[in-house]
Amino acid sequence: MTHFSADAIARARYRVVHETRYAYQSVVTLSQQYLHMTPRSFQYQRIESHEIWVTPIENDGVDGIDYFGNKTRQMTITAPHQKLLVHAESTVVLMQRPGLASIKGTPSWESLRDRLQQDTDPSMLDAYRYLYASPHVICSLDLEQYARISYTRGRPQLDAALDLTQRIFDEFEFDDTATDISTPLEEVLKGRRGVCQDFAQLMIGCLRSLGLPARYVSGYILTHPPAGQPRLIGADASHAWVSVFCPGLGWVDFDPTNRCLVQHDHITLGWGRDFSDVTPMRGVVLGGGEQDLEVRVTVTPLPLGGMQPQGRGAFAASTG
């Protein structure tokens, strides 16, 4: 159960629709899928409602919690099909997060690194699981050297993290043709091109190479159309950013793709060590041949008035 303090200030409310469509060249006779498509309820985010629809109807569906506390769903479809639709729909409320003023007086990054190396501090147990290399984040001297331009001697931990966030934005170019999920971080660092997933994992690799914990956050971001233009259905995006640990404040989120401290445009789906821990949808199929994939995300701002009472995030799963 997630508890929200009585003085928590709601800053934004959104409806999120995430549709994943597969079209197969030939008939699929068995599909087994593992979903991370249920937003988290935590200190800065409350889930009012959540539903998942699947077409064709699943024969078996099991809801669960993974190692990192993210909600999951495993499903099996045995009806022959050439198209698969997974439709996830949520209403979320975002709470006030720490602002720029909060990160200036944090402890130095060296003091945090030394505390983590000296002993196991019970107050920081959660941070240890995000301290080491993971499948898509390999620590290296090159990443450490890149990070040290921001992480100068005695600099406050979060102030340095913000500087690193801004440098990645300034020095790397967004290019959705430059990389894929298998592209190693050394190639991203060398080529200075990639997508949000690359930039998040690059920043995480920099921090871990310094001996600092950092986790990968998967979610959505509200996009803003040009002035005078309407918001387009399906024009928003799945997104990724970084959560940085600091004693006293806990986890604070930074978005290197958008050069910002995360505030009220980011909806958190889940978190883990890297992309592989929170892939929205992965699985295996029997048959199918070649496949076409289409993902559409729509984030719609909602009025704050008329919200449900604060408390436990609701979860419901339906098929049809």
Q: Which residues pair with 81 in a beta bridge?
A: 28
Residues 51 and 147 in one domain: no
Domain that holds residue 153: 100-262
In 3-state terms, what secondary structure has residue 115? helix
77 plus 183 within the same structural domain: no
Check pLDDT > 60 for residue 307: no
86 and 180 co-located in one domain? no
Assigned domain for 5 exists: no
Same domain, 203 and 225: yes
pLDDT band, very low/low/confident/very high, at 318 (cuts 50, 70, 90):
very low
One-letter amino acid for residue 40 of the chain: R
In a domain, 231, yes or no: yes
d(CA 27, CA 79) in angstroms, rounded, equals: 10
Averaged pLDDT for residues 1-24: 82
Q: How far apart are CA 306 and CA 320, in angstroms?
A: 29
Beta-bridged to residue 63, according to DSSP, are 73
Main-chain dihedrals φ then ψ at residue 231, nearest 5 degrees: -75, 135
Quote the pLDDT of residue 235: 61
In a domain, 186, yes or no: yes
Q: How many domains does the chain have?
A: 2
Residues 26 and 138 in one domain: no
In angstroms, the CA 257 to CA 140 distance is: 22
Q: At 49, which CATH number?
A: 2.60.40.2250
The tens digit of pLDDT for each residue in 70-82 reads: 999 999 999 999 9
What pLDDT shows up at residue 227? 78
Q: Is the pLDDT of residue 99 over 70?
A: yes
pTM for the model stands at 0.91
Which residues on adjacent β-strands are paired with residue 35? 73, 281
> In this predicted model, what pLDDT tens digit does every residue of 51-70 receive, in sequence order?
999 999 999 999 999 999 99
111 and 257, same domain (yes or no): yes
Tens digits of residue pLDDT in 168-226: 999 999 999 999 989 999 999 999 999 999 999 999 999 999 999 999 999 999 887 77
Pick from 133, 39, 148, 143: nearest CA to 90: 39
Average pLDDT over the chain reads: 90
In this predicted model, what pLDDT tens digit does every residue of 114-165 receive, in sequence order?
A: 999 887 778 888 999 999 999 999 999 999 999 999 999 999 999 999 999 9
Residue 33 has pLDDT above 80, yes or no: yes
Positive or negative, the CA dihedral 150, 210, 259, 169 is: positive
Q: Cα 217 vs. chain centroid, distance in angstroms? A: 3
pLDDT score at 316: 31
256 shares a domain with 289: no
Q: How many CB atoms lie within 10 A of CB 128?
A: 13
Instruction: Please say if the pLDDT value at position 233 is more than 70.
Output: no
pLDDT exceeds cutoff 60 at 317: no
Would you say 109 and 67 are in contact if contact means Cβ atoms under 8 Å apart? no
- Residue 101, pLDDT above cutoff 50: yes
User: Are 80 and 173 in the same domain?
Assistant: no
Q: Indicate if 201 and 219 belong to the same structural domain.
A: yes
Q: What is the pLDDT of residue 313?
A: 30
Structure confidence at residue 119 (pLDDT): 73
Q: Is residue 188 part of a domain?
A: yes
Q: Which residues contact 15 (CB under 8 A, 6 or more apart)?
A: 89, 90, 91, 298, 299, 300, 302
Angle, helices 109-118 vs 157-171, to 10°: value is 110
Beta pairing partners, 24: 291
Residue 308 inside a domain? The answer is: no
Query: Does a structural domain hold residue 273?
Result: no
- Pair (91, 106) in one structural domain: no
**pLDDT of 232 higher than 70:** no
Q: Are residues 54 and 176 in the same domain?
A: no
Task: Specify the CATH number for the domain of residue 212.
Answer: 3.10.620.30
Determine the distance from the C-alpha atom of residue 262 to the mean position of all C-alpha atoms in its chain, rounded to a whole number. 12
Residues 82 and 187 in one domain: no
